[in-house]
Structure formats: C-alpha cells, structure tokens
Chains A and B, each alone.
Chain A
Amino acid sequence: KAGVTQTPRYLIKTRGQQVTLSCSPISGHRSVSWYQQTPGQGLQFLFEYFSETQRNKGNFPGRFSGRQFSNSRSEMNVSTLELGDSALYLCASSLWDNYGYTFGSGTRLTVV
C-alpha cells in the first residue's frame, strides 16, 4: 500500500517567485493537511482539505494557498516567496477525523 507521496523532495527558489508543491494521499484517504516545519517555529498547521473543501486554515498570510482535487490529491502554492518561507513542508492524510494522520517525507523548500 503506497504511503503519502510528496513531490518534489527538494526545491530551490528565488525570492519573489512562486512555488507549487504536490501531495498524493494514501488511496481512500479524503482528508489532506499541510504543515510547515522550521527550526524556529516548529511544526505549524497550514490548512486542511476534505472532499475538495478547505475545512481548516492556520495563521498564515494569504500568499499561502491550497486546493484539493476530486481524486484527493492536493497542491499548495506559495506566491511572492520570502526567505522566511524556507522550510520543510509536510503533507498528511487521514482516513477520517482523529484517526491519526500519515505523513509524507516532505518537500524541503529553500528560498535564496
């Protein structure tokens, strides 16, 4: 059974650019969440999608957005990148609420 797949694994972007990260959840999982991990702020919740609808949103600026497709795959987009956006972005999927989330290996974004 395939796990949560995130692509790409590593990404280097320049300030001001935009980036799109992709997440394929475990087959059958309808809830997909995104987290940002940095040494200074730790693990912070970005947003959660369930059946193509954003159900929860963390405290991040509007430059961070996401969406979920009908096959449950999800993308997150960060526009006008800043140096502080450098982080490990983790995607997680869950079969149903509070079941426990399975995480992908993450996308390491470096903004230069």
Chain B
Amino acid sequence: AQSVTQLGSHVSVSEGALVLLRCNYSSSVPPYLFWYVQYPNQGLQLLLKYTSAATLVKGINGFEAEFKKSETSFHLTKPSAHMSDAAEYFCAVIPRTGTASKLTFGTGTRLQVTL
C-alpha cells in the first residue's frame, strides 16, 4: 500500500531562517504528491502539488518543493520563515496506478517560528 513518511513531528526555526520539511514516499511508481497546511481550527489548504511536469514546484506563500525520484522524496522548503508560517504541514500522495483517488497523508510536521 502507498505510504508517506514525514521526518520530524516538530520543527522549530527562527524568523528569517530556511524552512525545510521532509517527505518521503514508498512506491516504485512515483505518485502524485501534495503538500497541505493546516492552521488551528481550520481545514487543509493546498500549498502545492506535483503531477508530472517540472520537478521543482512552486506553491503559495513562497513555498516550493522538489521531486527527487532517486531519493523518493518531495521536501518542502521556504527560504525565509515568517511568523505566519507557524502551522501544521502535511505531505500526501495519490497513486498513479489503479482507480484510487484518495489522499494518503503523512503524520504531519508542526512548524514553530520563533523571534
């Protein structure tokens, strides 16, 4: 079964520092890959998605992610953290094979941004 692993349940960075949130998938056929963000008491907001075009994907709020097939990774980065980036981030996948269209989520990474 398709799975996705997010390393680090909590990440803390200083305001202005680089944000790096890690995501690895486990399938021989690269799936569709997504990053979502969740603010307290809110639903999930799509940050960016990888379907099959450019391996470097730019999303909203200055975030981007790079798909690396050799490493089965899709890490999320932002050059300079802002206080408003504090939230929980979820990596998710949809397999390319079969008829499944459900998202399988990682366990999430809570990002803390300090002054």
Contacts and interface: CB of A to CB of B under 8 A. Distances in A.
Interface of A: 4, 6, 31, 33, 35, 42-43, 45, 48, 50, 55-56, 58, 90, 92, 94, 97-98, 100-106, 108
A48 to B, nearest CB: 6
B70 interface: no
Given A33-B103, A42-B107, A48-B102, A98 B94 contact: yes
Main secondary structure of the interface of A (DSSP, over half): strand
B45 A103 contact: yes
Interface string B96-115: 10011111110110000000
Contact of A90 (B44, B51, B99): B44
A90 to B, nearest CB: 6
A108 to B, nearest CB: 8
Nearest to B100: A56
B108 A42 contact: yes
A104 B43 contact: yes
Nearest to B48: A100
Contacts of A100: 34, 46, 49
A64 to B, nearest CB: 14
B44 A58 contact: no
Interface in B61-115: 90, 94, 96, 99-105, 107-108
A105 to B, nearest CB: 5
B28 interface: no
A55 B108 contact: no
A105 B105 contact: no
B43 A105 contact: yes
A33 B94 CA distance: 13
A111 to B, nearest CB: 19
A98 B32 contact: yes
